[in-house]
Structure 1
Amino acid sequence: MEGFQVTEIGEKIYCILDAGNSSFYVVEGEEKAAVIDTGITAGTKILPVIRELTDKPLLLVITHAHPDHMYHMDEFDEVYMCHDEKKMDPETLVMLTAGKLKPWEEIHDIRTDSVIPLGGTELAVCQTPGHTPGSVVVLETKQNYLFTGDAIGSGCGVWMQVPGGTSLEEYYDGLVGLMVWLVKRGGRMKFFGGHHTQVFESTAHPVYNPLSLGVLADLIDLVDQVIHGENLGRPSNAKPFSKEQVRYASYGRAEMQYCASRIHRK
């Protein structure tokens, strides 16, 4: 498994970290195995790595349409992703998916409360628009593992300056909806983001900042503060995707990079 670090994080649940620090996951049920995201490893395939973990029929669930999460989509026949990603303009979508996007008619749409059975366990979906309009989180219901992609960051904050993302007002609504959805299901999930090592890269918490329901609560407060002008943060050195200055804001254990032009709905 050269170039990949594989860790069994639960019973028949695996985290795979690629050389680019992107994390993707394998959940094996009694009948099928689900791969959640794919990482991005140019010049090689990920199926051989996955096949060392499971021989069950495979399906792929994509948390959002960014290349470090769906680059290897073409290796899978059964693919699920929220079709709200089509709300991005076509040029932006092509750029963000590195030309790797399958035709939409070959991708199963998933929405809040979509359920994907694996046998003995299932995956439940909750839409969390923000980082992208079609971002989702995925809950494995037997062991209560929650796979969040980049919807709420991975420990060092969420990037809301990325092209194609929603306004912060829309993001706020998505975060509140996610909190309600999780609390209705008990609220005691184990959170795993799309870049697992970033729990050690937080600015606000430089030692260790794992995702949790508390981080989500702080993030809701942070976004609300920015929307109402109570916490505008400071200029940031984070990667800009336009000529506009990126800003960094934090509250509690939550952090966010954003652009002032995308605070309010248009």
Structure 2
Amino acid sequence: MKKDEYSFTQVEPGVWHIVDYRKDSMYLVEGEREALLIDTGMGEGDLKALVNSITKKPTSVVITHAHWDHIMQADQFEKVYLNHRDLPIIELFKLKVPVQRFMDVSEGCVFNLGGRFLEVVEVPGHTPGSIVLIDRQSKLLFSGDAIGAGHTWMHLPGCLPLAVYLESLERLLQIDGFEKIYHGHLAESKVFDVQHLKDLIEAVRLVTEGKLVGQPYSFGNFEGLYVTHRSAVLVYDPNNVR
């Protein structure tokens, strides 16, 4: 796939999974009145034209977190929401995105698409402003990288301590509103269930308690350690546990 190409597949009623050349995942969720695009990936094509080919309804954008593979091409859309706690992440990685246009979105905000509601929950950890969106009626959660994508990356610059991340995940688990978890890199891993979230929580807990110690992680550009616990693979910075 070329850098300016996208592919898409309908994965649920009114939900399309869009993939760019790097296998970054975006989700277009359609209600009776409006649509919401979750993340904008890293592709260099006309993402807005693709979205308009899927739905004719007015479409806003919400970014789950401010990493480069989730936020590029956001400038093609008029209404873009981002938790402002992630603005320092944009500065940290020197991303060229229209920061001044990003409207803040926070815990408790609800996107009313007409007969379909997406509720924002903050899950600080992977980044300070990471959010997930829950469609309680359809039992779906859109997580970006807050629950990882097979390998949960907590070793990047700007990640919060594992102890903080653990609190975020435990709070999320208490929300009884989802069964399927659509994450930020679906082409690289399957749709998660609640058990995967429980496995990830246990992996983080074991590392924070010193009961599980990782091995060197060789994938990607950032050094870290990784552990495997049941279905979860956690990558972390041993100097950023507490």
Picking from 96, 99, 104, the partner of 1:102 is 99
Q: How does 1:229-248 map to 2 (within 5 A)?
A: 229-241=210-222, 245-248=223-226
1:189 counterpart = 2:179: yes
Structure 2 equivalent of residue 202 of structure 1: none
Q: Deviations over 1:90-121 (max 9, x none)?
A: xx532536211421xx3232222211111111
- Alignment partner, residue 29 of structure 1: 31
Contact 2:180 2:194 in 1 (8 A): no
Q: Which one has the bigger strand percentage? A: 2
Letter in 2 for 1:189: E
- Distance in 2 between residues matched to 1:31 and 1:95, nearest whole Å: 37
Work out the CA distance in 1 between the residues paired with 2:140 and 2:94.
Answer: 26
Identity score, percent = 32
Please say if 1:67 is aligned against 2:68: yes
Would you identify which runs of 4 or more consecutive aligned residues in structure 1 move more than 6 Å?
none
The aligned residue for residue 16 of structure 1 is 18
Summarize deviations over 1:55-99 as a string: whole Å, max 9, x none: 11110011000111110110111111111214x4xxx53253621
Query: TM-score w.r.t. structure 2 length?
Result: 0.93
For 1:128, give the aligned amino acid.
Answer: V
Map Cα deviations across residues 198-255 of structure 1 (whole Å, 9 max, x no partner). Answer: 21xxxxxxxxx541111111111111111111001211102243xxx41011111111
Structure 1 letter corresponding to 2:235: Q
Aligned residue pairs total 240
- Could you tell me which residue of structure 2 aligns to residue 211 of structure 1? 192
Candidates 120, 125, 130, aligned match of 2:120? 125
Q: Which residue of 2 aligns with 1:39?
A: 41
- The residue number in structure 1 matching 2:140 is 145
1:220 and 2:220 aligned: no
Letter in 1 for 2:141: L
Distance 1:229-1:240 versus aligned 2 partners, 3 A rule: farther
The 1-side partners of 2:90 and 2:221 are apart by 17
- In the alignment, residue 59 of structure 1 is paired with which amino acid? S
**Structure-2 change in CA distance of 1:36 and 1:12 (3 Å):** same
Return the offset for 1:28.
Answer: 1.0
Compute the TM-score of the two structures, normalised by the length of structure 1: 0.85
Contact kept in structure 1, 2:180 and 2:191, CA below 8 Å: no
Task: Give the aligned CA root-mean-square deviation in angstroms.
Answer: 1.7
Q: State whether residues 14 and 30 of structure 2, in contact with CA within 8 Å, keep that contact through their aligned partners in structure 1.
A: yes
